């Protein structure tokens, strides 16, 4: 289910490039890492939910790649670009086989239900 976003015609010509390329390098890096790692956790320093997601994956014996962008004290713009790209409002962002599956509680549910191994096997 796609979320509503402004149509390009609703953006003034003077800002279209800025909107389209807002931290495009960060989005590109995360997109590439999500497609080349079975599990990717995108987080930020000092966020306990990022730590919980990684700890749950470690406890389940699931190797994962971790990317970290800033902390509560800085780096908010690259994280904003990722939120705009995914539509996911918080960190961590957990990707399984390139698909965003949610955050820490979502990955904990996938582990508890046994769905995580099925998602990994499907890829």
Tens-digit pLDDT profile for residues 37-96: 999 999 999 999 999 999 999 999 999 999 999 999 999 999 999 999 999 999 999 999
What was the pLDDT predicted at 123?
67
9 φ/ψ angles, rounded to the nearest 5 degrees: -65, -20
Tens-digit pLDDT profile for residues 81-103: 999 999 999 999 999 999 999 99
**What is the spatial distance between Cα 42 and Cα 63, in angstroms, rounded to a whole number?**
14
Q: Residue 37 has which token pair?
A: 């790692």
Architecture of the structural domain at 14-122: 3-Layer(aba) Sandwich (3.40)
What was the pLDDT predicted at 41?
98
Using pLDDT thresholds of 50, 70 and 90, give the confidence band for residue 5.
confident
């Amino acid at each position: 289910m796609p979320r509503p976003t402004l149509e390009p015609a609703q953006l003034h010509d003077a800002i279209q490039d800025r909107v389209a390329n807002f931290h495009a390098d960060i989005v590109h890096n995360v997109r590439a890492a999500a497609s080349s790692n079975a599990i990717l956790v995108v987080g930020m320093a000092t966020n306990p939910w990022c730590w919980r997601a990684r700890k749950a994956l470690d406890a389940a014996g699931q190797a994962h790649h971790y990317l970290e962008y800033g902390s509560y004290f800085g780096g908010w713009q690259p994280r904003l670009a990722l939120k705009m790209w995914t539509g996911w409002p918080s960190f961590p962002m957990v990707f399984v086989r390139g698909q965003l599956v949610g955050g820490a509680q979502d990955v904990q549910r996938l582990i508890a239900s046994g769905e995580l191994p099925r998602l990994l096997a499907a890829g």
